């Protein structure tokens, strides 16, 4: 059995959790079955049973196209190119809507069984219209078409499975829950502090850490708004880059500048750090904060817990399946009356509640250490890539039957 992955992200071009997922899953699955990855970029890798091919199409056909529409058309053109050449796989597995159009074409043209992993869902991300304009309607159509024609849909959490059933016409038996995972040998606490000193973080002073992209979905603006309520002696470290749009990039800059006027211990690292530096940041943090307003899984929480860090996170999506409230961290309701995608959120109340939970942990070192220990234990029990790869292989085998 051979499997073909379609994905936008693959090393060295990773900017989100879906890319991390594809990276680790492909390498772990390649120990079990031959894997070919077709992705966006210039990659050309052959390692035992893993082959990776990057695609960089010619975009000269878009000289006068609106930028947001051009972006979606570029994705579709890349997906078409990814379907050229020899396709000898038995199973097609695509990740995110960026790769789903390639999966649609492959199923129609080659008659291959189609599997897709739902890392997020367009109906629950209406703010994507800021980035894509009317292209959001096209991305939503691609996602709906792919999900409803797939032979199997992998949801990364029980919450995501319910979202799929609520928003798409899919028989429940086609939707399987397989969690994201983590490399337990790689994500482990380290005593190294070179990255902290490089970016001006004092390892002797407790700090609250955020890691993620600057998007509406990740809720970073809410954390920035919470800073004025967080204990003034604590450092705030925001590892946040790659804004979705110029508008949210400006909003982030203005918000951070405003809080920095009143305290000098807010450190914004406006770039995507490498894995080694991120693990150092996790390892020495007092609290990790995930303020997402939509999060199907939240692999950053698993990474933090693996490094013995207690988590303060929003009580949405798949997060409660990772962070056990009161044991491995604290969960903060966004708005008890709101429904996804939480357009009725009260930003002042949410920011204050985030700060309250963070302060509880900052005030209690013993509680932080106990939650950090339990967090690592939970990661080891439920989020190991070896077990996840085996579950995925079993799904493939059942489809082949």
Instruction: Encode pLDDT of 160-203 as tens digits.
Output: 999 999 999 999 999 999 999 988 999 999 999 999 999 999 99
* CB 91 within 8 Å of CB 1: yes
Cα(399)–Cα(315) distance, integer angstroms: 34
Length of the chain: 401
Select from 213, 214, 217 the least CA-distant residue to 122. Answer: 217
Mean pLDDT of the chain: 92
What are 201-211's pLDDT values in tens digits?
Answer: 999 999 999 99
Question: Do 3-181+384-400 and 194-382 show the same overall fold?
Answer: yes
Please write down the long-range contacts of 157-162, taking CB distance under 8 Å and 24 or more positions apart. 157/296, 157/297, 157/317, 157/318, 157/321, 158/318, 158/321, 159/296, 159/316, 159/317, 159/318, 159/320, 159/321, 160/118, 160/121, 160/296, 160/297, 160/317, 160/318
What are 289-342's pLDDT values in tens digits?
Answer: 999 998 999 899 999 999 999 999 999 989 999 999 999 999 999 864 455 555
Question: What per-residue confidence (pLDDT) applies to 67?
Answer: 78
Mean of pLDDT values over 69-95: 91
**Residue 344 — pLDDT band, cuts 50, 70, 90?**
low
CATH topology for the 3-181+384-400 domain: Rossmann fold (3.40.50)
Q: What is the CATH number of domain 194-382?
A: 3.40.50.2000
* DSSP states along 168-194: S---GGGEEE----B-TTTSS-----H
Lowest mean pLDDT among 61-65, 93-97, 231-235: 61-65
The larger pLDDT score, comparing residue 133 to residue 88, is at 88
pLDDT of 280 higher than 90 = yes
Question: What per-residue confidence (pLDDT) applies to 178?
Answer: 96
> What is the crossing angle of helices 135-149 and 96-110, to 10°?
50
**Residue 345 — pLDDT band, cuts 50, 70, 90?**
confident
**Residue 56 — pLDDT band, cuts 50, 70, 90?**
confident
Q: What are the boundaries of each domain within the chain?
A: 3-181+384-400, 194-382
Cα(5)–Cα(326) distance, integer angstroms: 38
The model carries a pTM of: 0.84
pLDDT of 94 higher than 80 = yes
Q: Is 172 exposed, middle or buried (0-12, 13-18, 19+ CB in 10 A)?
A: exposed
Question: What per-residue confidence (pLDDT) applies to 335?
Answer: 67
């Amino acid at each position: 059995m051979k499997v073909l992955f379609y994905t936008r992200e693959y090393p060295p071009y990773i900017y989100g959790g879906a890319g991390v997922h594809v990276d680790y899953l492909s390498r772990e699955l390649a120990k079990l079955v031959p894997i070919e990855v077709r992705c966006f970029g210039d990659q050309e890798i052959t390692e035992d049973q893993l082959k990776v091919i990057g695609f960089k199409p010619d975009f000269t056909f878009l000289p006068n196209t609106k930028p947001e529409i051009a972006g979606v058309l570029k994705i579709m053109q890349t997906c078409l190119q990814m379907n050229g050449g020899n396709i000898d796989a038995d199973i097609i597995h695509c990740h995110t809507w960026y790769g789903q159009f390639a999966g649609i074409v492959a199923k129609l043209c080659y008659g291959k069984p189609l599997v897709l992993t739902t890392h997020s869902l367009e109906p629950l991300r209406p703010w994507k219209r800021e980035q894509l304009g009317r292209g959001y309607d096209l991305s939503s159509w691609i996602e709906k078409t792919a999900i409803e024609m797939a032979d199997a849909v992998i949801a990364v959490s029980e919450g995501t499975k319910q979202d799929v059933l609520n928003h798409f016409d899919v028989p429940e038996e086609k939707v399987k829950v397989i969690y994201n995972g983590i490399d337990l040998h790689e994500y482990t606490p380290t005593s190294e502090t070179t990255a902290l000193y490089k970016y001006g973080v004092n390892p002797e002073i407790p700090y609250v850490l955020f890691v993620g992209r600057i998007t509406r979905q990740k809720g970073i603006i809410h954390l920035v708004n919470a800073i004025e309520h967080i204990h003034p002696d604590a450092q705030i470290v925001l590892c946040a880059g790659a804004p979705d749009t110029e508008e949210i990039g400006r909003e982030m800059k203005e918000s951070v500048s405003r809080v920095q006027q009143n305290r000098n211990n807010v450190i914004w690292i406006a770039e995507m750090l490498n894995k080694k530096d991120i693990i150092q940041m996790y390892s020495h943090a007092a609290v990790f904060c995930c303020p997402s307003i939509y999060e199907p899984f939240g692999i950053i929480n698993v990474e933090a817990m693996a490094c013995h860090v207690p988590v303060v996170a929003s009580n949405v999506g798949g997060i409660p399946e990772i962070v056990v409230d009161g044991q491995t961290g604290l969960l903060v309701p966004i708005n008890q009356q709101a429904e996804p995608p939480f357009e009725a959120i009260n930003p002042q109340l949410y920011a204050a509640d985030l700060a309250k939970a963070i302060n509880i942990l900052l005030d209690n070192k013993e509680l932080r250490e106990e939650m950090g220990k339990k967090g690592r234990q939970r990661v080891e029990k439920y989020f190991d890539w070896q077990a996840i790869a085996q579950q995925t292989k079993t799904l493939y085998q059942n489809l082949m039957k």
